[in-house]
Amino acid sequence: METKFLLILLLAFIMISGSFSARFTFQNKCPYTVWPGILNNPNVPTFPSTGFKLQNGASQSFDVQGWAGRFWARTGCTNNGRLTCATADCASGQAACNGAGAVPPASLVEMTLNGGANRNTDFYDISLVDGFNLPLSVTPQGAGSGCKSSSCVANVNSVCPAELSVKGSDGKTIACKSACLALNKPQYCCTGQFGKPETCPPTNYSKIFKDACPQAYSYAYDDRTSTFTCPTGANYLITFCP
C-alpha cells in the first residue's frame, strides 16, 4: 500500500514538474533538401540540436523535456566553406544555428510543452507572421494522436503580391514577406496606436495568408483560429512540404 502511495506521489511530481519527454520527428517531403533550424525560448531546457541537414524523403527524431521554441526550414542552401541559404537563413554559416533565429520571411512552427496553469498542456501553432517560405505542418502522435494537427499546405508564394515577393536568381518568388516586414507601417505591424487587438484588425495583406492557410497565424493578433492545444505527453511530427 505504501509503495502504491509513493508511486502516485512520484507520478504527481512528474506532472507538476513538467518533466514529460516528447519526441519530435522532422520529415522532409519537399522535392529538395532543407536545413531545419531550431531556436529555444529563454529559460527552457536546450533542444538537442539547433539545426541540421535533412534530405528529400528523410526524417530525424529528437527527445526533449519541457521545451518551448520554434522550428523552421532553410532552403536553397549552399556551402562553400560557409553555409548560406536563400530563405530563412539563420546566418550562422553552418548547419547549426547556435541560438540564432530565422531571417524572415520564414514559415514557423511554434511550440510550448507543459504549459498552462497546471503545466499539463502543450500549445502549438503555425505562424506566418514572419512571412512564408515553404509549407509545413505539426501533427500530434502517440498519446496525442487524438489531438488536431495544424498545417499550412498551400504554396503562398504562388499568390504573393509583387510588393511582398522575394525573388530567386531565376526571377521566381521563393518567399513572401509579411506586410510588416515589407512596408514597415504600424497598421501592418500592430504597433503604436495599432498595438492591441481592438485597433489592429486583419488587413488585405494578412487575408492573403489567411485565405491560403486558414489554420496559420496571418498577423500578430490572429489567435482565435490559430492556437492549438494537446494534453502533455504527446509526440510531434514536423513535416516540411506536407
For every one of its 242 residues, what pLDDT tens digit does the chain have, with 9 covering 90 and above? Answer: 454 444 444 344 444 444 578 999 999 999 999 999 999 999 999 999 999 999 999 999 999 999 999 999 999 999 999 999 999 999 999 999 999 999 999 999 999 999 877 789 999 999 999 999 999 999 999 999 999 999 999 999 999 999 999 999 999 999 999 999 999 999 999 999 999 999 999 999 999 999 999 999 999 999 778 999 999 999 999 999 99
Query: Which of 29, 45, 20 has its CA nearest to residue 139?
Result: 29
Are 166 and 177 within 8 A, CB to CB? yes
* Per-domain residue ranges of the chain: 20-155+215-240
Within 10 Å of residue 158's Cβ, how many Cβ atoms?
10
Q: Three cell numbers at 110?
A: 511554434
CA–CA dist 150, 214 (Å, integer): 10
Residue with cell 504573393: 160
Quickly list DSSP for 146-185.
TSPPEEE-S-GGGG--GGGEEE-TTS-EEEE--HHHHH--
Classified by CATH at the fold level, domain 20-155+215-240 comes out as: Thaumatin (2.60.110)
Are 242 and 215 within 8 A, CB to CB? no
The alpha carbons of the chain give a radius of gyration, in whole angstroms, of 19
What is the distance of C-alpha 215 from the center of its chain? Answer: 13
Quickly list DSSP for 178-219.
-HHHHH--HHHHT-GGG-SGGG----HHHHHHHHH-TTSB-S
